[in-house]
Structure 1
Amino acid sequence: MPRWFLPLIIFSVVVFILEYYAFQAIKTVTKNKIIRWSWLTVGIAVYAYFLFVIFTTPRSAGQTKQFQLAAGMMLTAIIPKILILVILFGEDVVRWVQKLISWAGSQPTKPIAGRRKFISQLALIVAAIPFTSFLYGIIQGRYNYKVLKYQLSFKDLPDAFDGFTITQISDIHSGSFTNKEKIQYGVNMINDQQSDMILFTGDIVNNKAVEMDNWIEMFGNLNAPYGKYSVLGNHDYGDYTSWPSEEAKQANFQAVKDIHPKMGFDLLCNESRYIEKDGQKIALVGVENWGKGGFQKKGDLKKASEQIQQDDFKVLMSHDPSHWDVQVKNDDFNYQLTLSGHTHGLQMGIEIPGWIKWSPSKYVYRQWAGLYEEFGRYINVNRGFGYHAFPGRVGIWPEITVIELKKA
């Protein structure tokens, strides 16, 4: 039996159940055969296209734009139908309970006329919310860049750096880009912040260095008087695609690293730099990717900090926020501010500033989006500039972070 056979059977069963309930809702609400058959035809076309892409795309191709489109269509189609399933199945349970009560009692329970139609209408209205949200996320949400500004105060910040500004971007994922005008708009927003320093915290590509070829000049035009610095992310190692040989994979990895100086970024691979201003200095530390679970653990905090002192004020760049949670925040060497990315906030969730911040990403990462503080040490988890896998963003928008350092 082929390895793909059982997953395909499970997928087919799940799709059948979803489509059965969704079609029951449509059939209850309308008798128009054109609407009914159009519903079925579109659903079948989405599933067929997704399976076609899965079975015809070799792993060596990495994550293609065709796959992203298929995945986006799939999520847009399935998630609303899951809500329909939940609502209609819940109504079925209520009806079954009522029938049991009717059979057990002396008085039969009469069905409420029109209840099924009302519940079906309600299910379709509820399902329309994620459907329209996902469509917006694919068409416009992935370019809905937001500038988030924080002011952080530290007692041990050198006086010369009072008011020093840092713009952080993360997770460019250039292999996903399709619209040069929209990306240019985002890059212009980065420059508009006029920060003293620009820091990029990893994942410049999805898999291959060539993905960045058309974007080097654009990102190379970013300006900051105190320099531009970067680190690597988990996607930069080429681990999520197949290679003809280990030599080819290493050649691609070197090409990825070579992209950074071409854009004017100083790539820190378990290294540090001193940033000097008016005779005073702060330490900038950059580690390679370190992530919990099955991610690369090449980040070496001790090696990266060999050339700096414990009493220096430090800004650490580490792509994966789990590194901060597991190792950095408790380190006696005292890393006052850490900048990470990686999670993308899963590119979908609900955020209303001051009210709610939720995404399924929170069930995987304790620090998944925004600013966190423990023991007087901070981490900012940037939601990412680009997008990956799902070609859009729903509620969790692409982010440009501006942090102003203040003397407490």
Structure 2
Amino acid sequence: MLALTFIVLIFGLQYFHRQLLHRLLPKGYDRWVTPVLILIHVPLALYMGIRLTGNAGWLQWLRPLSRAGLYFQILSAFNLVMWLLSEGLWRLRHLWKPQPGQPPEDPARRTFLRQTTAAGVGLASYGVLAGRREAHGDPDVVHLQLYFPDLPPGMDGLRIAQISDLHAGPLVKAPLVARWRTLVQAERPEMLLLTGDVTDSIPEEAGIVEEAFRNFPAPLGRYAILGNHDYFTDPRPIWKILERTGFQCLENRWAYVYRNGSRMALVGLQDPMARHGHFRDIRYGPGPSPKIATEGLPADTWRLCLSHRPSDWPLARQTGARLTLSGHTHGGQINLIPFVNSALLLGPYAQGIYRKDGDVLYVNRGLGVVALPVRIGAPPEITLITLRRR
């Protein structure tokens, strides 16, 4: 059903874009619109078909071509918005009304449409350049002090680094991930937590993270969970790579952390994608299960939960976690409307701190990008959390 909806949306978008291009292009050139649109969309259709089968063998060469098709969809949507705006401006400016015997297309109107479309493309290009600088610049290093009256005494002052949504792959290369490691290490955290989406979509991409974070100095350990992108294909190679890098993977599991004579438990919830990897009925696990994740854990243990999706906070609270750390939203990644976070389309928790009955959720904006190599109004983030006992 999702694939069918996607196909209908693409065809509808391109039908209207084809109409626009016929109006914009000079006579004679417009006859190439349909075949060019078909050529642009063939790689995207093949990529989506192969992705739905779970096979990745051809994806290496198809991915850049399909990404070009995706970018074209975004350009199509933007052009159509500019078309609607220009039509509205023209009507306001000229109070245009069709008259009997009037030519079907006023040349001045067509020129105005071309000018507004060109201005819109220029504005979009500027936005892409600015967004690319934001995406690939140094991330914000957010320092938080979180207070809990029941925090074990020995955990008072514990410094935790959280990173999330690296999306290592075609849009996030090794030098950028290495830079992130340098910035995290400079904060000297006692513990490093990775809250999912290690890769963009292929397990081999986790090698970029292995190269960057090998031998990371965290005295109390390195822990990770996987995100939805890590389940696009078989996630087991990613688990192995992370374990080899020194991370302990907490997929519906828990682990003790000891400090100054006290202990706390880290609990990890598995992502719901584990129930249907490859976008099909292939299971790599039960998905988020508070019961499995806390099995055998003493009831009086203070708990911190790693849950990739902040929308799963109710499940994280069922584990007894006083603090839940999530990612997934990218803080919206591209926020075009002032004071409106596009991540709210994913659920009520977009970024930052949320509190309920003394429990705390923190949503990290993540470091990498998805689909587009830009961020607008959502800079990448490294979070340094200091736990405090009141």
Q: Mark yes or no: TM-score above 0.5.
A: yes
1:305 correspondence with 2:284: no
The reply on whether 1:318 has 2:312 as its aligned counterpart is no
Alignment of 1:130 with 2:116, yes or no, is no
Taking the aligned partners of 2:178 and 2:66, their CA distance within structure 1 comes to 21
Task: Decide whether the 8 Å contact of 2:156 with 2:387 is kept in 1.
Answer: yes
8 A Cα contact 1:337 1:377, kept in partner: yes
1:51 and 2:45 aligned:
no
Distance 1:281 1:6, change over 3 A: closer
Moved more, 172-181 or 378-387: 172-181
| Structure-2 change in CA distance of 1:84 and 1:7 (3 Å) | closer
Task: Verify the 8 A CA contact 2:158 2:387 in the aligned structure 1.
Answer: yes
From 313, 322, 335, give the equivalent of 1:336. Answer: 322
Change beyond 3 A, Cα 1:407–1:342: same
**Aligned partners of 1:340 and 1:380 also within 8 Å:** yes
CA change 1:122–1:209 in 2 (3 A) is: closer
CA distance in 1, matches of 2:22, 2:72: 17
Task: Note if 1:255 corresponds to 2:232.
Answer: no
Structure 2 CA distance for partners of 1:153 and 1:7, relative to 1, 3 Å: closer
Consecutive unaligned residues in structure 2, runs of 5 or more? 101-107, 280-284
Tell me the matched-pair count: 363
Match of 2:346 in 1: 364
User: Match of 2:219, SS?
Assistant: coil
Change (3 A) 1:395 1:310: same
Distance in 2 between the 1:128 and 1:308 partners?
A: 58
5+ residue gaps, structure 1, are 28-32, 104-113, 240-251
CA distance in 2, matches of 1:342, 1:5: 25
Judging changes above 3 Å, is the alpha-carbon distance between structure 1 residues 88 and 125 closer, same or farther for their aligned structure 2 residues?
A: same
Q: Please, what is the CA RMSD of the aligned residues?
A: 3.9
1:367 Cα deviation (Å)? 0.7
Partner residue in 1 for 2:147: 153
TM-score by length of 1: 0.75
Q: Percent identity?
A: 28
Cα distance change on mapping 1:123 and 1:192 into 2, 3 Å: same
1:46–1:70 contact (8 Å) kept in structure 2: no
Residue 287 of structure 1, aligned match among 259, 269, 285: 269
Give the superposition deviation at 1:204: 1.8
The letter for the 1-side match of 2:342 is P
- Matched letter for residue 347 of structure 1: Q
Please state how far the C-alpha of 1:309 moved relative to its aligned partner. 3.3
Q: CA deviation at 1:9?
A: 4.5
Q: TM-score, normalised by structure 2?
A: 0.78
| Shift of residue 168, structure 1, vs aligned partner | 0.7
Q: Structure 1 residues 5, 189: CA separation in 2 closer, same or farther (over 3 Å shift)?
A: closer
Question: What does residue 193 of structure 2 align with?
Answer: 199
Residues 18/115 of structure 1: CA separation in 2 closer, same or farther (3 Å cut):
closer
CA distance in 1, matches of 2:36, 2:387: 49
CA deviation after TM superposition for structure 1 residue 117, in Å: 8.2
What letter matches 2:266 in structure 1?
L
- Further displaced range: 118-127 or 305-314: 118-127
